[in-house]
Amino acid sequence: MTLQKDPDWWRGAVIYQIYPRSFQDSNGDGIGDLPGITARLDHVAALGADAIWISPFFKSPMKDFGYDVSDYCDVDPMFGTLSDFDALVTRAHDLGVRVMIDLVISHTSDRHPWFAESRRDRTNPKSDWYVWADPKLDGTPPTNWLSIFGGSAWAWDARREQYYLHNFLTSQPDLNFHNPEVQAAVLDATEFWLKRGVDGFRLDTINFYFHDKYLRDNPGLPVEDRNDRTAPKVNPYNHQMHLFDKSRPENLNFLRKFRARLAPYGAAAVGEVGDAERGLQIMAEYTSGGDKVQMCYPFELLQPARVTAADLVSVFDQLAAEAPDAWPCWSASNHDVVRHITRWGLSDQGARCYAVLLATLRGSLCLYQGEELGLPEAEIAFEDLQDPYGIEFWPEFKGRDGCRTPMVWQQDNRQGGFTTAERSWLPVSPAHLPRAVAAQGGAGSMLAHYRRLLAFRRAHQALRTGGMTGIAAQGDVVQFQRLGDETLFCAFNLGEAAARVTLPEGRWQALAQDLGGVDAATGTVDLPGWGFVLARQV
């Protein structure tokens, strides 16, 4: 299949996230790799995804499993070679699947040559490539800023006798985006991958690029305003209003430069907005106007509490107020949060209902590997933990390993068909084996449900690129209409008790019975628990 040159391919696209360490091991070392991804791309194509997003595979000491980059323009040997990546892109494009990669440019590894030079002294050519600051008079850090991974966001460096900023691990120093040379360097790295055929990027921590150049302290956040959407509840990071360490206005001009680099290649970007207080506002700022990134995904659907009908109305009301043309990319699970089936306590029936809901909201959609199998969060023993975040806050927060365990392809294999090694980097969950890909061939399986759902979405332009109006909630029921070359009515019962829905005036034809939808032959529809109705105006 030849991919069409469509600069708007991202609008309404379904993006399948692959965590490379855990997708498929091709060489028997217990760690997934790029050739393994290539070998399994048929699964992604058969699912109906438009694109894949591959989490970082760059050279890295792996202190944060690839999110600490030591070379932006090469593949870590653990995952393969640049030739392996080129083969992956070719195979994906042959299957009609676009390729997006994770770009981590807010910070590097402390092993990156840029940082090695920057920390040498205060006068070298890269001395200002990272965020350095003198201590306060009493020797303490220059601001009260906190790291998401715990403790101060400042680490002392004896060579320069200064502190450097790290919003994450101490081994992940923040780049200084106030320096034009830094911006040019990361844009050049971006173009390196565009020239290799990449179709787009997921921008890690997109709102962390700039810090307040005056190094002002963050104010405290009142107890009643704190939440655990960005960091776990036990993390003091939630005690601050993060006004000065991230989400700075200077970021908008850089994103315009970034978009300009993408334009000649027809590439797209989706940004991760990590801000519990202003996530939707920032998403609106970053995606509006057509000159910054195309999409962002906020944390509203990644929150710990199950998303209710009233929550959805609130989210879309805020979007309409902030920027009607902002384009979200919805996701309920990813590599950083507990899988939503476990997080929200969903039955298979509830999981199917939410899958259809997410696929009918205005915006693009991101699915996380294994979501299409209905995988719950894996239980990981402390001695098997790899995630430094979980090790730091155990047992109140168990980290991110439970959502990162290997993909299961075969149910009759102790390693789930992921690897031939005796031991994989994280243990395969025995509870996942009955849900392996090979075990879900039947028409009633979760995998079959997702395949039908994505085919249904693709067949209806109004769901992919159309408008959305009339969102309203009554009890557990949320309803709205999608507008395009047809008008679709969508209503979902996000609870276990039966509920009644009245369709708008007019004639309606029921759709999506093969997805479990309820017949809409009359003006009033009774929805069972976790029931939904999709109908087309005729």
Give CB contacts under 8 A, 24+ apart, made by 511-518: 511/456, 511/535, 511/536, 512/356, 512/456, 514/452, 515/352, 515/356, 515/449, 515/452, 515/453, 515/456, 516/352, 516/353, 516/356, 516/449, 517/356
Query: Residue type at 444?
Result: G
User: Residue ranges of the alpha helices (H) in 58-153?
Assistant: 82-94, 113-118
Q: Please, which pLDDT band fits residue 278 given cuts at 50, 70 and 90?
A: confident
Which CATH number does the domain housing residue 492 bear? 2.60.40.1180
Q: Out of 84, 110, 272, 300, which one is annotated catalytic? A: 272
Does 303 fall in a domain?
yes
Same domain, 72 and 216: yes
Same domain, 260 and 374: yes
Q: What percent of the chain has pLDDT over 70?
A: 100
Query: Residue type at 120?
Result: R
Does 181 fall in a domain?
no
Which CATH number does the domain housing residue 308 bear? 3.20.20.80
What confidence score (pLDDT) does residue 272 get? 94
Secondary structure in 3-state letters for 118-139: HCCCCCCCCCCCECEECCCCCC
- Residue 174 CA to residue 172 CA, distance in Å, equals 6
Query: Residue type at 463?
Result: L
Does 144 fall in a domain?
no
Same domain, 430 and 487: no
Q: Is residue 1 scored above 70 in pLDDT?
A: no
What confidence score (pLDDT) does residue 277 get? 76
Same domain, 348 and 486: no
- Residue 2 CA to residue 97 CA, distance in Å, equals 10
Of 398, 422, 457, which closes a domain? 457
How many other C-beta atoms can be found within 10 angstroms of the C-beta atom of residue 155? 18
Domain that holds residue 101: 14-108+202-457
Q: Write out pLDDT tens, residues 521-533.
A: 778 999 999 999 9
Does 146 fall in a domain?
no
CB-based contacts of 388: which residues, under 8 Å, 6+ apart?
Answer: 63, 64, 149, 169, 399
Q: Is residue 369 scored above 70 in pLDDT?
A: yes
State the average pLDDT over residues 487-498.
97
Domain count, the chain: 2
Q: Please, which pLDDT band fits residue 226 given cuts at 50, 70 and 90?
A: confident
For residue 8, indicate whether it is catalytic. no
Q: Is residue 2 scored above 70 in pLDDT?
A: no
Same domain, 28 and 92: yes
Tokens of 361: 């909201």
What confidence score (pLDDT) does residue 439 get? 97
Same domain, 356 and 476: no
Same domain, 218 and 97: yes
- Residue 16 CA to residue 291 CA, distance in Å, equals 25
Q: What percent of the chain has pLDDT over 90?
A: 87
Cβ-contact 114, 70 below 8 angstroms: no
Same domain, 363 and 408: yes
Same domain, 436 and 530: no
- Residue positions counted in the chain: 538
Does 197 fall in a domain?
no
For residue 204, indicate whether it is catalytic. yes
Does 120 fall in a domain?
no
Of 427, 457, 487, which closes a domain? 457
- Residue 437 CA to residue 443 CA, distance in Å, equals 13
Same domain, 253 and 331: yes
Helix (H, G, I), strand (E, B) or coil at 111: coil
Q: Write out pLDDT tens, residues 38-58.
A: 999 999 999 999 999 999 999
Q: Out of 76, 110, 204, 275, which one is annotated catalytic? A: 204
Of 430, 457, 484, which closes a domain? 457
Which is higher by pLDDT, 3 or 26? Answer: 26
Per-chain mean pLDDT for the chain: 95
Which is higher by pLDDT, 399 or 449? Answer: 449
Same domain, 80 and 229: yes
What confidence score (pLDDT) does residue 389 get? 87
